[in-house]
Structure 1
Amino acid sequence: MTTVTAPIRRRPRRDWPIVAGLFLLALVPSLAGGVRVAQLTGGVERTAANARFVDMPAPVLVHIFGAVAFAFLGALQFAPGFRRRHRRWHRVCGRVVAVAGIAVALSGLWMTAFYDLPRGDNDVLSVFRYIFGTVMLLAIVLGFIAIRRRDFHTHKAWMMRAYAIAMGAGTQVFTSLPLLPVNVDDPSYPSWRCVALVAGWLINLAVAEIIIRRSDPRRGR
């Protein structure tokens, strides 16, 4: 007698832990950006710390608004159930997310090139900002090219890498916590700050690569 084994059905993955986690990661830098916008639009007093923003506010405003849109709308793009139920919304929102991401990358590169070096930063950190900003921009372009070819996995992989770099601002809040007791005027502070910020980007990219490899449809072949 032959026994027929019923196929095992996987329970659908819930979206809310993914979206909530990404929202929380984006919350702190978004609030800091909101404070910056309020200061610039409310006529803040010019100081040595904010002179670069007060003198040329447009790039930082583009960066902040682009980053908020990219972070929160992008989080919904990575929710599988929501994406399946709202395919048209996913396509339309994807275009907005891509434009916002390009604005974030380009404005970040512009600020690195033309703003004065902030207190506590060093030239090495500027080099890493150029690297990660350029990689983020290329990732969005490659993601767009992939979706035009209807290569969905490659599209998702590149957009996930771009999102990981952008969300580095959230992870850097945690990697920078050990620096709180260190005085900004300490000669070692810029080096440790560089390590903390680069660690935030690398952690996010490492997590993204793990997810990309696990979701690769060719992995089981």
Structure 2
Amino acid sequence: MVTAVSPDRRRSASGSWAVWLIPVGFTLLTLIPIISGSLRLTQLAGGPELIPAAARFTDFPVPVVLHIVAGVVFSVVGAFQFIPSLRRGRRSWHRFAGRILIPAGFVVALSALWMATFSQLPPGDGPALLVIRWVFGGFMLVALALAVRALVRRRYAEHGAWTTRAYALGVAAGTQAVVLIPGSMLYGSSDETSRAVAMTLGWLINLAVAELVIRRRRRRASALHLAS
């Protein structure tokens, strides 16, 4: 005997699975920086050198440790903020996680700017990429500040838009790790121009995806408003 399943139930089941694809996808995207960051922490703690040592990390370990730890929290916990069911209710996961994510985001951005400004530049990081790091790091700080301001003013849609942009910038290292591969193969890992282009492209790709997510939310909110 075959039991028929209504189209609405099929859409609901597929939708429940689809919402989990977003956090899983973001978590997978950040696996490369999470793994490399964990290896770097092991090295700084006196463990084996599983990745090449670099003076820019060993000379100023505090901002490096802060950046890695805050980055892991920001990327992994932040991924689950995209699940609608976890954002509901006064004592929801969204509120609890937000109290962790906003400070973590500020630590990620500030430590990145500190390292870009005061640490020794690695091979391939020329003056152009330094300026680019300042631009996107500064934009992440501005996005987080505007997200906090919108939250204080109870403009929740605006708050969500700015936190989405900040998250996109904060997890761009995963995208950049992928985008850097073609340039490294063609021009070498120390080519300043190709590295600057690839890094910029990684940030822009993430911001483009963030804008698509924001527009989708706005369309859904408008549709719900018209339906009511």
Q: TM-score of the superposition, structure 2-length normalised?
A: 0.84
* Partner deviation per Cα, 1:2-57 (whole Å, 9 max, x = no partner): xxxxxx89737333111111110111110010011011111667xx9611211110
1:193 is aligned, of 178, 186, 195, to 195
The list of structure 1 runs, each at least 4 consecutive aligned residues, that deviate by more than 2 angstroms after superposition, is 8-15, 82-89, 179-185, 217-221
Structure 2 equivalent of residue 137 of structure 1:
141
The reply to whether residue 179 of structure 1 matches residue 183 of structure 2 is yes
Structure 2 equivalent of residue 21 of structure 1:
25
Change over 3 Å in CA distance of 1:86–1:196 after alignment to 2 = farther
Structure 1 residue 95 displacement after superposition: 1.2
Structure 1 residue 147 displacement after superposition: 1.2
Q: Which amino acid aligns with 1:141?
A: A
The alignment covers a number of residue pairs equal to 210
Q: Is the 8 A contact 1:139 1:159 kept in 2?
A: yes
The reply to whether residue 96 of structure 1 matches residue 100 of structure 2 is yes
Map 1:56-135 to 2 at 5 A. 56-84=60-88, 87-135=91-139
Q: Which amino acid aligns with 1:209?
A: E
- Matches of 1:171 and 1:86 in 2, distance apart? 34
Structure 1 residue 82 displacement after superposition: 2.4
Structure 1 residue 184 displacement after superposition: 3.7
Question: 5+ residue gaps in structure 1?
Answer: 1-7
Q: TM-score of the superposition, structure 1-length normalised?
A: 0.87
The reply to whether residue 169 of structure 1 matches residue 173 of structure 2 is yes
Q: Which amino acid aligns with 2:176?
A: Q
- Matches of 2:12 and 2:210 in 1, distance apart? 23
Structure 2 equivalent of residue 52 of structure 1:
56
Structure 2 equivalent of residue 37 of structure 1:
41
What is the CA RMSD across the aligned residues, in angstroms?
2.4
Q: 1:119 is paired with a residue of what secondary structure?
A: coil
Structure 1 residue 86 displacement after superposition: 8.2
Q: Is the 8 A contact 1:49 1:118 kept in 2?
A: no
